[in-house]
Structure 1
């Protein structure tokens, strides 16, 4: 595990594995109950029919963000641990291209890796096809790595956070993200009413 609480020594590695397995099962259960094991519910965001994906994911992000800030205020969490040990490096252009490819795969296939696993457990045939395609894509990427490996490791900006990029306190950045989330939630109501693809 690379979770900050484990790295801080809050519990042993074995306990960390048990916690990770428990969180995984709970996460999958919640995704299924939220309807995220069905590609139609996931892709509805692209047609402005149902924005629950944005609402759920943005809510989860904000909850984790506020939780970590509160833990840091209580002295139970050190942000240097997050930045120095668990935060992935920023490779600007490769990650931008990867994000576009991920988005296209999501829109076309109807799943992301996590929701595809939930779909497989739920017995969805399209999720099985998606997982097979994802594994094939991983193999193609690995086989062709000598060709695009230099691009993959290019534009290394190190471990960056938004508050570092904008040179503002992390609490101020958190407030801005919360305002952004509330604005997005407000706009989704109009998007769902608009539903241009249903007209």
Structure 2
């Protein structure tokens, strides 16, 4: 779950159990927020439903503030958190492929499993495509290995790239979220869809 400093109070197994419970809670919140509906998810791209934007921006802010305060109180060591290395070109190409799949299928990988858990068969089709994509990527990796590792940027964080402290970047992100919430509300009024 995370490098909690309080291992003398929370064992590694308890930490994993907490991660499992939080994962179930996360899936429950996704489903209750409507993320098992491909129409609701696709609505983000068409402007008639910005629930995805609101939920994920809220989740990002809560997680960010939680980590910042946990660090402030000495409950977590942020330097121990693993950050995936950034390979710029593979991130751009992979993001474009996933975005196209999201628009065409109406799901991202996480929401597809959320929809499958309540019995939606279109999600099963999407997951089948996801598995085929993983197999193609894995088996064909030598063909695009050079692209995959191109433009290795290491493990930058946005606040470091901008030369900001974590707190200053956090404030900017919160203000940006409020701006995006406002734009989302405007889009829902501008592009209404009565039923979906």
Scaled to the shorter chain, the TM-score interval is over 0.9
Superposed, 1:155-170 pairs within 5 Å as 155-170=151-166
Larger proportion of helix = 1
Contact 2:87 2:152 in 1 (8 A): yes
- CA-based RMSD of the aligned residues comes to 1.7
Report the Cα distance in structure 2 between the residues aligned to 1:147 and 1:178, rounded to whole angstroms. Answer: 41
**Superposition TM-score, scaled by structure 2 size:** 0.92
Report the Cα distance in structure 1 between the residues aligned to 2:63 and 2:192, rounded to whole angstroms. Answer: 33
Report the Cα distance in structure 2 between the residues aligned to 1:104 and 1:4, rounded to whole angstroms. Answer: 35
Deviations 1:55-95 (A, max 9, x none): 0000000111111111111122222122xxx1111111111
Contact 1:47 1:196 in 2 (8 A): no
Report the Cα distance in structure 2 between the residues aligned to 1:194 and 1:132, rounded to whole angstroms. Answer: 35
Report the Cα distance in structure 1 between the residues aligned to 2:13 and 2:69, rounded to whole angstroms. Answer: 27
Deviations 1:115-169 (A, max 9, x none): 1111111110100000111001100001110100111112111111011101111
Report the Cα distance in structure 2 between the residues aligned to 1:135 and 1:4, rounded to whole angstroms. Answer: 31
Report the Cα distance in structure 2 between the residues aligned to 1:133 and 1:79, rounded to whole angstroms. Answer: 36
2:7 pairs with 1:11: no
Shift of 1:185: 0.4
Aligned to 1:123: 119
Aligned to 1:28: 27
Report the Cα distance in structure 1 between the residues aligned to 2:146 and 2:116, rounded to whole angstroms. Answer: 35
**Superposition TM-score, scaled by structure 1 size:** 0.91
Aligned to 2:79: 80
Where does structure 1 lack aligned partners over 5 or more consecutive residues? Answer: none
Aligned to 2:131: 135
Contact 1:37 1:119 in 2 (8 A): yes
Shift of 1:196: 7.3
Where does structure 2 lack aligned partners over 5 or more consecutive residues? Answer: none
Report the Cα distance in structure 2 between the residues aligned to 1:12 and 1:108, rounded to whole angstroms. Answer: 43
Deviations 1:12-65 (A, max 9, x none): 332232122212211111111111111111111111111000000000001111
